[in-house]
């Protein structure tokens, strides 16, 4: 089963990283409206599962995807097996999940600049992310698909790209956006 190999980091110089990515390919700007669902006891979140409804708005186009992620197969990178499909109506999905006894864990908005390119023979997606509630911080998500047995090789390829962008291992982010936003809301 393929795994989404992913590394996430804080970007200390967004303009420099944006310029370096622009040399690879043109970025596509999108806004993601994410809603995460869980059991009332939060056991999915606690055990590393994710169930998300995401509406992606790019210009005048809008699409919704439902994503189910299994627990990480690599604790350091939080790389997870991912299952995704399109949906027509995010509100209907919310109604279905609620009827099944799930609750809304958290909703958040991500502003994304997606750059698709090939490196080390792999299709990669670099996403520069800002989250209004985490103002002043820019993140990069770098991902590629890999079979489980090839995950270490894929992660090394991702790390090499981040190194070339000037994003070091010290910049790695180990907390999820949902945890960071929840903490920010708790502090406010």
Q: How confident is the model at residue 165 (pLDDT cuts 50, 70, 90)?
A: very high
What average pLDDT does range 17-28 have in this prediction?
A: 97
Per-residue pLDDT tens digits for 52-86: 999 999 999 999 999 999 999 987 888 999 999 99
Identify the bridge partners of residue 69 per DSSP, sorted by sequence position.
50, 82
| pLDDT over 70 percentage in the chain | 100
Closest by Cα among 188, 178, 125, 120 to 150 = 120
pLDDT of 14 above 80 = yes
The secondary element (H helix, E strand) that includes residue 3 is: strand 2-10
Structure confidence at residue 78 (pLDDT): 83
CA angle 103, 33, 184 (to 5 degrees): 70
Mean pLDDT (the chain) is 95
CA angle 46, 57, 31 (to 5 degrees): 55
Domains assigned to the chain = 2-187 (2.40.320.10)
Contact assessment for residue 34 and residue 53, using Cβ atoms and an 8 Å cutoff: yes
What average pLDDT does range 99-104 have in this prediction?
A: 98
Structure confidence at residue 2 (pLDDT): 84
CB atoms within 10 A of CB 180: 17
Closest by Cα among 179, 73, 177, 98 to 132 = 177
């Amino acid at each position: 089963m393929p795994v989404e190999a992913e590394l996430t980091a804080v970007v200390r110089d967004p303009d420099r990283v944006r310029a370096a990515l622009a040399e690879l390919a043109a970025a596509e700007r999108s806004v993601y409206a994410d809603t995460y669902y869980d059991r009332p006891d939060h056991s999915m979140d606690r055990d590393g599962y994710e169930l998300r409804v995401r509406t992606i708005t790019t210009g005048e186009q809008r699409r919704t995807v439902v994503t189910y992620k299994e627990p990480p197969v690599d604790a350091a990178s939080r790389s997870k097996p991912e299952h995704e499909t399109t949906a027509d109506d995010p509100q209907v999905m919310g109604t279905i999940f609620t009827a099944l006894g799930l609750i809304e864990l958290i909703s958040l908005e991500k502003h994304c600049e997606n750059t698709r390119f090939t490196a080390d023979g792999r299709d990669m997606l670099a996403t520069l992310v800002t989250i209004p509630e985490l103002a002043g911080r820019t993140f990069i998500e770098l991902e590629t698909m890999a079979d489980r047995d090839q995950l270490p090789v894929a992660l090394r390829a991702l790390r090499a790209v981040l190194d070339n962008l000037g994003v070091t291992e010290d910049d790695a982010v180990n907390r999820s956006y949902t945890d960071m936003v929840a903490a920010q809301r708790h502090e406010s």
